[in-house]
């Protein structure tokens, strides 16, 4: 019953932990497969997620932050969730050290629609912590075997302050490349911050990408989404060409346990990626 049982996780080892932010509550975990067969079976694309298992605590659905172009491991950037009551799984995960063994179940959900994105210009807009599957997408597109499949790549990424930006080394590396336009911004800088200050929606307005043959991929906190969408509508982006990813409380991740639906769609198995055109058809139940 082990084979093809979608509830059974595969054993993985934490081989690297990166503390991403000054507040110490967001870490990137690099997971390495213990069984070669599992690694071959785990075929994913940017935008998908997996259920991470801490035995004795439970499971948590987390977006995949690495790109399938990086073989040998899978990375997840996890926030220690919950302010008053800590999240059972994410808090336990944050207490683990390199070498610890956890479980991983997936890949789950629908990816960013890679075929749809091909031959188009891509504008990636991210805010704060919601940059993980966008990072996966950017690294996927920037890979030497893939770069020519996509048009211009523009990134607008913002955080509240410089210390809260994720993947700082990669951001710096992207800024040096000429095949990606990187616009990093913070709401408020500090003494050492030499970059841009300003909210993500305003930066999008300044960058003003043309809607022609272009898809915008937007993830961020609700407040950022709320003010960023009108910018893209004003730029005349069609709703089919604006993509986002939803979050809901999940358990099974395979469309059976019945809690993450928005209308008749399950965020876990019909999503989490949706276009604004698709979301418009669904009720406001998220």
Partner 1 sequence: MEKRLIKKDALVGIAKKMAEELTVWAPVKKEDNVLFTPLTKDAEPFFAYLNSKNAPKQVFFPHTETLMKYTRTPKGMVFSAEENKAGKTVLFGVRPCDAHSFVLLDMLFDQEKYKDQYYITKRNNTTVITLACAEPPYATCFCTSVDGEPVSADGADIVLTDIGSEYLAEFITPKGEKLAKYFGETKADAVAETKKKEIAEKAKKAIKSKIPAHEVKPILDNNFEHPFWATIHGKCLACGTCTYMCPTCHCFDISDEAKASDGVRIRSWDSCMFPLFTKETSGHNPRISQKERWRQRVMHKFKYYVDNFNAIACVGCGRCVMSCPVNIDIRKIIEDISKL
> Which residues of this protein are in contact with partner 1, per CB under 8 A?
1-2, 4-9, 11, 34, 53, 55-59, 81-85, 87, 90, 101, 103, 247-249, 251-252, 254-264, 269, 283-286
Pairing of strands 153-159, 121-127: parallel
Please identify which residue in the block is written with the tokens 């876990």.
268
Smallest separation, CB 115 to partner 1 (Å): 19
What are the tokens at 42? 């785990």
Burial of 4 (0-12, 13-18, 19+ CB in 10 A): exposed
Are 56 and 67 spatial neighbours (Cβ–Cβ below 8 Å)?
A: no
For partner 1, the closer CB: 24 or 34: 34
**With b meaning 16 or more CB within 10 Å and e meaning fewer, what string describes 72-83?**
ebbbbbbbbbee
For partner 1, the closer CB: 90 or 139: 90
For partner 1, the closer CB: 177 or 226: 226
Smallest separation, CB 273 to partner 1 (Å): 16
Smallest separation, CB 264 to partner 1 (Å): 4
For partner 1, the closer CB: 153 or 246: 246
Smallest separation, CB 255 to partner 1 (Å): 7
What are the tokens at 56? 């004795």
What are the tokens at 59? 């499971």
For partner 1, the closer CB: 115 or 285: 285
Smallest separation, CB 26 to partner 1 (Å): 14
């Amino acid at each position: 019953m082990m084979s093809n049982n979608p509830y059974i996780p595969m054993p993985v080892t934490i081989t690297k932990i990166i503390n991403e932010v000054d507040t110490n509550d967001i870490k990137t975990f690099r997971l390495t497969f213990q069984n070669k067969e599992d690694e071959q079976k785990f075929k994913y694309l940017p935008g998908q997620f997996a259920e991470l298992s801490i035995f004795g605590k439970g499971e948590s659905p987390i977006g995949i932050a690495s790109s399938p172009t990086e073989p040998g491991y899978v990375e997840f950037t996890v926030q220690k969730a919950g302010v008053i009551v800590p999240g059972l799984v994410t808090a336990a995960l944050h207490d683990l050290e390199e070498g610890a063994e956890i479980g991983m179940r997936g890949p789950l959900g629908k990816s960013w629609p890679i075929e749809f994105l091909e031959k188009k210009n891509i504008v990636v807009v991210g805010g704060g912590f919601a940059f993980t599957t966008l990072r996966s997408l950017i690294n996927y597109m920037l890979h030497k075997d893939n770069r020519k499949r996509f048009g211009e790549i523009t990134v607008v990424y913002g955080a509240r302050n410089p210390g809260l930006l994720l993947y700082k080394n990669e951001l710096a590396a992207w800024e040096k490349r000429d095949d990606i336009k990187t616009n990093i911004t913070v709401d408020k800088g500090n003494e050492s911050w030499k970059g841009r200050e300003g909210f993500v929606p305003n930066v999008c307005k300044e960058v003003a990408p043309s809607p022609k043959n272009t898809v915008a991929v937007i993830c961020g906190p609700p407040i950022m989404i709320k003010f960023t969408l009108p910018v893209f509508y004003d730029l005349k982006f069609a709703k089919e060409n604006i993509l986002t990813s939803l979050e809901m409380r999940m358990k099974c991740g395979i469309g059976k346990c019945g809690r993450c639906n928005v209308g008749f769609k399950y965020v876990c198995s019909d999503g989490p990626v949706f276009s604004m055109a698709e979301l418009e058809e669904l009720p406001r139940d998220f």
